[in-house]
Amino acid sequence: MGKLLFFVYIIGILIRIYLSLNDFSTLIADRVEISTPLNSWKKVIEGVSLYNQNINPYDGDLFHETPLALIFFSFLTSKLSQFYISLIFIVCDLLTAFILYLTSKIFTKNLLKNQVEIKHTYMKQFSSLLIPDYFAEINPVYVCSVYLLNPYTVLSCVSKTTTVFNNLFLAIFLYAMVKRQRLLGSVSLVLASLSTFYTFGLVAPLMISCAPTENKKKTGSYIITFLVCLLISCALLYVCFIIMGEWMFLDSVYGFILNVRDLKPNIGLFWYFFTEMFEHFRALFVCAFQLNASILYVIPLSIRLRHDPLLLATSLLALTAVFKSYPSIGDVGFYLSLLPIHRHLFYFMQQAFIVSCFFVGCTVFAPTVWHLWIYSRSANANFYFGVTLAFATTQIFLITDLLFAYIKRDFAIKHGMKRVINGKEARLMLD
């Protein structure tokens, strides 16, 4: 496994370096599937330039990063050349893959340990559904490979989107979660959520994973974890206030996301709906869309997946990538790399082939239809939205298939595949 992992790393490094050093990186920098107003490197450069000239970058509607990010990127661009900046993005991407490797390794070992402890509750004839020991070695390599070789994450890194840093913080958060380290998980979660509030919902799996096994102490642990995340968030926001000397950045960062001011097309669902929306209905639908993207699924999924916080985190990340106002393929690539961690559920998934075909089809058709719409003028916005709608539907199919697989496996290993209902044999169908 060590040789395979080394080979994957070498391939991932070479691909990123080769694409970063030629004109391909500038060619894809403005692709709407990759760059959004929230993660575009060009907008970062413009905001830093205004800041260095003592002009407030939050005047107007140009810059949407936090003041902390502004200071960091200002230091980065002033000290390093473009080549070394590209190397930093590559190193962050490689570090993200390695942290996900460690996360998968720890999680699978814990899963195998827990399986031994509760093995007596499983149906004996379904021992074939038990997780084999070699998963602890092969699954982390799969996770690392999917992240390093996934075109979505590669393109996001090559075009220098700030999603690369966000993914790094999310990877650290997942590692801290499986290690049950409350402080590290809280800090990394807040850093990942500071530029966009959607991922703050991941505080739920962190609360569950850090809670003790005794029921009497769980409530207090939940409150402590939530308060720690809240206090760190307030502290960092206050630091942002000190940097800028005013709270104007709140509207430029969070108000921009909430109100969906930029309706430039992307792979999400917001832009088309609000382009066609009558203005007097806008407030109602903005609230409905934002609640759906940030809050609606957290509590019910947390209750149902309380015994598997990592699957809960994966599901919330996937739903966020689908429903948030400015998604990019970097968000999609990150949660796709988490799927091999849940490889023990693949046996019960039914839509894998259809989902795979649609992912490939949408990935090819999106730039094709965009060219027909913008350059050839032989298509219109409906064509491109049709592709993005199919892409979102594909992701929903993937999420629901994964969640149903979790429920089916949990039922099958405890109750068997066959049951007698009303005197008739009923079998759990897998195909």
What percentage of the chain exceeds 70 in pLDDT? 94
Q: For the residues 386-409, what does the mean pLDDT come to?
A: 95
User: Residue 74: in which H helix or E strand, if any?
Assistant: helix 67-79
Q: For the residues 280-285, what does the mean pLDDT come to?
A: 90
CA distance 273 to 215: 45
CA atoms within 13 Å, Cβ hemisphere of 249: 26
CA distance 189 to 166: 10
What is the per-residue pLDDT for 430? 53
- Between 418 and 221, the higher pLDDT residue: 221
Label residue 377 exposed, middle or buried (CB < 10 Å: 0-12, 13-18, 19+).
exposed
Tokens standing for 425?
């044999």
What is the per-residue pLDDT for 123? 59
Cβ-based neighbours of 249, under 8 Å, separated by 6 or more: 58, 66, 67, 240
Condensed to tens digits (0 to 9), the pLDDT of residues 347-364 reads 899 999 999 999 999 999
**Among 210-224, 289-303, 371-385, which is the least confidently predicted range?**
210-224
The answer to whether 258 and 247 are in contact (CB under 8 A) is no
3-state secondary structure at position 337:
coil
3-state secondary structure at position 242:
helix
Query: Can you tell me which residue has the tokens 């990010």?
Result: 69
The answer to whether 187 and 180 are in contact (CB under 8 A) is no
What is the per-residue pLDDT for 412? 82
For residue 55, the tally of other CB atoms under 10 A from its CB is 12
User: Residue 420: in which H helix or E strand, if any?
Assistant: strand 418-421
Of 257, 238, 241, 239, nearest to 249 (Cα)? 241
Condensed to tens digits (0 to 9), the pLDDT of residues 400-429 reads 999 999 999 888 877 766 655 555 655 555
Centroid of chain to Cα 430 = 28
What is the per-residue pLDDT for 119? 67
φ, ψ of residue 427 in degrees (nearest 5): -120, 140
Cβ-based neighbours of 102, under 8 Å, separated by 6 or more: 140, 175
Q: For the residues 336-347, what does the mean pLDDT come to?
A: 93
Of 194, 417, 218, 216, nearest to 309 (Cα)? 218
